[in-house]
Amino acid sequence: MKQPISTTAAPGAIGPYSQAIDAGNMVFASGQIPIDPATGNIPEGITAQTQQSLANVTAILEAAGLTLDNVVKTTVFLADMGDFAAMNEVYAAAFSAPYPARSAVAVKTLPKNVLVEIEVIAIR
């Protein structure tokens, strides 16, 4: 019933987890930090990091045959809630109405000291 989703177009899992799990009519994508899968580099600043995190999410969804239009719920983790407005601007350009439900929380630290991590749930 559950199948792992994996693509080289997004950073590989670096622990005991899958990039995403296909559960039939739902896809659960692990949180994506802004690592460029081609270079391993992390861009500077919240705008570029949000763009890269969303590009990684998009690549995983595409591997499942989906797009951002299939996303029904997101969780955005921010290292600094002061970056919310800039993140939100990039986020708003990536998604279209009706927008997914969303939670956005500030956390103490994210992997590799990035500024943002984004996870999604999508439906078929």
Q: Which three-class secondary structure state does DSSP give residue 111?
A: helix
- Residues 50-107: pLDDT tens digits? 999 999 999 999 999 999 999 999 999 999 999 999 999 999 999 999 999 999 999 9
Half-sphere exposure for 2 (CA within 13 Å, toward CB) = 8
Q: Does the pLDDT of residue 1 top 90, yes or no?
A: no
Residue type, 24: G
User: For the chain, what percent of residues have pLDDT higher than 70?
Assistant: 100
Tell me the C-alpha distance between 107 and 62, whole Å. 28
Per-residue confidence (pLDDT) for residue 14, from 0 to 100: 82
Tell me the C-alpha distance between 93 and 66, whole Å. 18
pTM value is 0.96
Q: Please state the domain extents for the chain.
A: 3-123
Angle at Cα 42 formed by Cα 86 and Cα 72, nearest 5°? 55
Q: What is the mean pLDDT of the chain?
A: 97
Per-residue confidence (pLDDT) for residue 33, from 0 to 100: 98
Decide yes or no: CATH 3.40.50.720 for domain 3-123: no
